[in-house]
Amino acid sequence: MTIDDIAGELYALPPQEFTQARNARAKELDDARLAAQVRALRKPLLAAWVVNLFARERVSSLREALDLAGELREAQAELDAAALTKLNRQRRALIRALAQQAEELAAEHGESITRSTADAVEQTLNAAMFDADAAAAVASGRLVRPLEVGGDSAELVDAVAGGLGDAPVTSPSIPVDEVKARRERKDAERALRTAETALAQAERERDELDRTSKKLSDQVDRLDDRVGELESELARAGQEADRARRERDALDGGLAEAGARVEEARAAAAATQAALDRLRAE
């Protein structure tokens, strides 16, 4: 027998009988390695035991849920919004019904469960609806603890006694390879959409930068033209300043000569006035 076979027997027992039965089963084994594996099996939490009980005794109900789960994954792979909306309504109704069945089944076996345990059972069944490996874990009947929606692979392996096997449980109408291919295609399509969005954003930014560059180029051209105009004006102003400077220098020379003539004329006028004054005095 394998560890999965033995675990299947032990996890079918009521929780209060598990530890004693596990230890006794380990002592019976001649294979030391297998015996050690059996002794390492953990007692299931009550919510996990309820799910295990349901998986063994309500096989058809569980199969209905897993078939619907397969349809959900197919609709997600195809990005069929209408189908997803319809299937999600069915999923919620089915999960509530299955959780109620599991609670009633536990009561038939003498276990009264609390609201928190019932919630954990419903959460575990819900996790099986979203992930094929979680569905395989539920179908194994060897859960150690309840599952969470969106749990990673490491958490899933730790939640199951023994192994999950090579192939997860999926709807018979959807081969495992096809589910994997659709997931990969969906991931690729999502990556393409992300890349196209990034490309469009990059093109918008490039176009905006191009427009800004053209505006700046036009502004530079206008400023270069203005600089040329100002340089021409400056050259003309320099030439006019030189001409005015030469004219001023020439005028300064003429002004000195005129000043000298003024002084000569003033002296002549003074002499003439003096002579006139003497004549008047005689």
Provide the total of helices (H) and of strands (E) in the chain, helices listed first: 10, 0
At 41-96, the pLDDT tens digits run 999 999 999 999 999 888 888 887 778 777 776 766 666 677 677 777 877 888 88
Whether residue 78 lies inside any domain: the answer is: yes
* CB hemisphere CA count around 121 (13 angstroms): 27
Picking from 30-44, 91-105, 180-194, which range would have the lowest pLDDT averaged per residue? 180-194
Residue 253 lies in a domain: no
Q: Is 50 among the domain residues?
A: yes
Residue 282 lies in a domain: no
Domains in the chain: how many in total?
A: 1
Is the distance from CB of 125 to CB of 65 less than 8 angstroms?
A: yes
Q: Are 158 and 143 in contact (CB under 8 A)?
A: no
Question: Is 37 among the domain residues?
Answer: no
Choice between 67 and 32, residue whose per-residue pLDDT is larger: 32
Give burial (CB, 10 Å; 0-12/13-18/19+) of 62.
buried
Structure tokens at 220: 């530079």
> What is residue 227's predicted lDDT score, i.e. its pLDDT?
87
CA 226 to chain centre: 50
- Residue pair 138/62 in contact by the 8 Å Cβ criterion: yes
3-state secondary structure of 145: coil
Average pLDDT over residues 93-107: 86
Q: Please indicate, yes or no, if residue 186 is contained in any of the structural domains.
A: no
Q: How many CB atoms lie within 10 A of CB 130?
A: 16
Residue type present at position 120 = A
For the entire predicted model, the pTM comes to 0.54
- Contact between residue 176 and residue 144 where contact means Cβ atoms under 8 Å apart: no
Instruction: Give one word for 141, left, alpha or beta, with left for phi > 0 and alpha for psi -120 to 50.
Output: left
Q: What is the DSSP letter of 202?
A: H
Closest by CA position to 50, among listed 19, 11, 81: 11
Residue 24 lies in a domain: no
Identify which has the larger pLDDT, 69 or 139. Answer: 139
Query: How far apart, in whole angstroms, are the C-alpha atoms of residue 125 and residue 14?
Result: 20
**DSSP class of residue 160?**
B
Q: Residue 64 belongs to what domain range? A: 44-174
Task: Indicate whether 115 pLDDT > 50.
Answer: yes
The reported pLDDT for the residue numbered 172 is 40
CA 253, CA 82: separation in Å to the nearest integer? 105
**15 CB neighbour count, 10 Å cutoff:** 15
Structural domain includes residue 278: no
Alpha carbon distance 47, 8 (integer Å): 16
* pLDDT > 70? residue 182: no
